[in-house]
Structure 1
């Protein structure tokens, strides 16, 4: 052993007149009375003298006679590596079930070294290098190390029933000393599940003045097995250190650990207790955990925190630096143990401001947003200056009051809704919903229509919205032929002061239904009843067009797509005629013969493509005449259908030709008039009803009927829709006998205009 002399020069000089060694530590040291040299009398064992203490010294008192003086001498004893690591036992038997999964850890008792410092720093190795097991050494913040045997892969009892390993502990001294323990691992077939603790390490604190029987912790291990395999017995894992056995006891049934002896903070600050939970199966399985018991020094009085003058709740628009509460702290201790400092839980928009000794103000530190966080749980911690310090906490619940700073918001700026026409009045067509991030009245949303005019009517005559639910209702049946698109806005407004609101656009498309049957156009003037009579010469061949059925449908799309079928009628020969599927032209299927019945009655069925399909029926009477009678009949029919207006047209044509020959000015005027007529805007609006127009076709001499029906769109935009229908090709060019009256009136007006221009030119 080495030792050092800590006396000064004066002390060494006075030792020359040394008379008496008044006190020494046993017979370890002696002094030469003549020269004052201090020497070792017997072997000094630092471990026996000071145990595990980091500092070890021998205190002496030296008395000098002349003059009489007393000196204190401290001899420091330094450690050497003279103690090898020692395991609690030379052999360790471990029983492991073959069902234990890899990465399972089995705690081992580490070796102890009586030395200190580097001489007691232990490292472990496992021999031989086994494929099944590995060592796992972990250090924690409490400067304690845990040694465990980790299972690398699943065991197989049928392959290897017992493993023999040698665990070696080496210290850090020079020369290095080692200690060993033999690990005998027996692999057994046991019940499936071992008891498991909720945590592998438990940490608790106990005051050193705790009474005997004070509950330290109640450990709980669970075993999913049933019966005796699930019954758990708790115990301290052997070998149990004498310090743990003296201070604590464990209840084998409940797992409660209680104090047993007096705790002494100065003697031992931390207890590391290994606890084992073993079931009662035929082959018992065990679970392990480590309990770290920290002994707290006695600090008689903990700080007290008092919170007064709470100003709650706090509005979210409160400006920073506003005082929320006043806090006072006190501690009945004195000195450092009575000096208290307060801190606030982190990550909150508040702070503590010291106003006076042991008085603080809770102040708002940044802006609040109730929609992000509506309340804060503040924890004020008061800590004294004792060693170890004691603290007390007080919780403050700060509720943030809402202000109306958020307008109701719709999920989309626009919604598209499809509604079938002919809906029942008051039917629900859509539900709008707006969310308001505010609370209470500020979040109570009411809905209303943004009133506007739809054509000549108010929007509220078509739809309504429920103020609370946001349900949109159609107040009357919608008609696709009248209204294809209804576009309007719904307003959402909260009940805050002042109220905030937002709008959303609804586009309601009215879907067409097949609610209009095909309508047959009026037959030519002169036909009997609703039937159309046609004269056909017996000399015509196959494919000759004898008539054409005209029909229109007020619906749109497939509901307005018409097809024609020839139906059998009494006294008719269906095989003699056929009708075009989509154009309604009736033509002969073969050349007419003398044996064919003179009067043919044809029944044409007009059908749309709706679901269900709607139909109309037209009757066509075809009279077969001889070849020499056909022209006369045609002339009479032509004369009856054309009338005096046609003759008037011919006269005007001759007059126009004559005038063109006399003066080129007339031609220029007519061209100018035609250009003005073509460029003039229509008298009716885009949403108003249009007049039917007759347009003469070119090659085959057929007529086209353009019906410009009223198509009004709710938004007031979009052009009207035109439906084109083909007329009978048997009519004379640019004349329609079916609409004879209306057309003759239009022709008469046109002739009057032409005559007016002619008179102006002549004059």
Structure 2
């Protein structure tokens, strides 16, 4: 909380203002602020501009500034709002170390007019310092004979804080012997005394460690501590006493002189000379004991000074006194019993009585390698011996008889991994401490032929340049065998195989000792590019072991073949002539030279160029393609004959070449060229790389189209089969409108054959609902009549072509929407037609249908503009069941199926086409056959 205080009155301000106005404008005034110490930077102090009566807007213009007497910038003014704030943190104890009230004096100076104001900022103390004693501990010596009530002065603590934050109280840690008494004479004067409440006993508590605490009056309270180390001074009132009245000690026999036996310890509760003790043997100890043992006066240690023999005496009793050095000496007594123990002073003895080396690497576990005997002259546990060997080796040691051990094989042996073992056999007794002896033996492992020769890899690739000299060294194979001696001696051989019926040994041979391969003949890359041989490596062990290496031999090509020209530029033809029209344009192909090289790679890469070509020649050749083209328009100045030498060169090293001579004749027109010459260039153009890709693309597309067509045909045939099966289950009927039609599938089938005319023609009607009257008419018959009930007469212009008659003699399958429909003039025959852009003919025309099935003939009818749809002749009621279509040997039968006893009643009628009854006369049959042949011939002529 800040407390501004203004000590100047308004009156005094006015008086001073008028007096000093002519000289300088100074107004003296004083403000007083209070802030706690250690306030952080930016902490609010006071509204200095408001308290001084200054406008905020005049602070900058009048250059308000703050100056301290010591020159330190503890405070600053915010020129934006006129607030005084802490600039640097202030430590009151550092600024005013010995002053209770700490004030920082500031001067506030403003110009225009000049005004000086005095400001006092009081730094308020906070409890930030702990009470501190002059020392961390105080030592006092008090005799155990001092009486209770005795007082001992102590030095108090100090606190850098002031007022209530300074020291106000002292406390002493809880104890039964001492208390603290504080006497206050003034605010800064206090007396602290230690008061003895109870008599001291040094033998019970020789030192008292107390804690003195000083508290200040701040919030929160802070405290400081110091330790009071009070030592109680001794008086000789206690005799020395041993830790034990009876001591036991064990001593090994053959102990050397000076060996430690036991250390005695006596204590005296007194202090100083009253507690100084010396040791000695009692007067009752015999001379024999003193000749073997001695005791040190100051330490109480008993040591060996003579020879100790377990076999002579195994126990000694010694009386010992402890005496202090007080004015009136006092003594204490104890007895020491020393037991003599047998000592393990003999090492085991280890002897290898049998050793069978070397050991074969194929020895089975349990094979005995060595026999060892052990012996120890000690008795009991000191004479009991155990043997063990090194770990992680394929051997073990086992106890067989008393004092005998056997060394046996305990795991697989592999000489190739380790050829010898250094084994350390250790014999240890069970004495304490244990004694041991170690003996090292070496066991060598003998080799057996258990490793075949091995190559670095199972197959290798080598290359041999063609035309190599016979007998040349081409490669060296190498195998290794991890066995030794005879088992590692390797011989090489070729495994019998053939190349084109010739033994591989006729091509190459191998040195059986060093594995060197030699070529027996000169290889030709153009004849043999690659062959494979199998090399076998066999050691000399018993039984011998072997391994194989597959050697892939590639014949490396060299440039030993010149380019060869293909026909018609073959080497057998000395001169080739080409004719070119003088009207040939620039870029026109004259001919193309095709050549091959029997070599491969760059050796077979052929380039073409003219040799010794004149500078004005109108022809050029493609360096890579060999195409000879016209480079400019031909003129009259160009000769009629151009003889060109073409150099064919490969890219081998060294290069090889061939020369072709071409004669080009210039003619006046293309008609003068022979036909084969005109198309000569086109043939070469067609056989190009792009055309090959085009042919492959066409082949691929054709294959896809063929597969799609087959799949489509199979699906359509499957659908057609399903529809036929459904159609067979339906019957023919007439609609209420009196029209003959087929079902909603719009398909029907006409079958003409020599079998019984039962289902030769099947017609179906739409699935329309019918009345009972229609059902009655349905049962009576499917033929319509006119309104008078009389059947209509057949139309005289119902015509059938010869093709129809020929088709009705065989099995015909019709797909489409053919309809026998009731028209104005009677039944009309409506057959499906093939859509065509050509005008219709005058007469009816029969054409094969689209999508006819295999081994079936389907037909459609067209009617031209001059020949409208012909009415179908009506069938009279007395029409015979079987009748003959005019001009056709087929028979049409109209019948109504009657239900049998087995079948359910059916109301479907059928119109069937069948052959003539066989009861006709042979003469009429022959006559019908002749008419049929004539009709067929006429139909064929009309079709053509």
Do both proteins adopt the same fold according to a TM-score greater than 0.5, normalized to the shorter chain? no
Larger radius of gyration: 2
Structure with greater strand percent? 1
* Larger relative contact order, structure 1 or 2 (CA cutoff 8 Å, min sep 6): 1
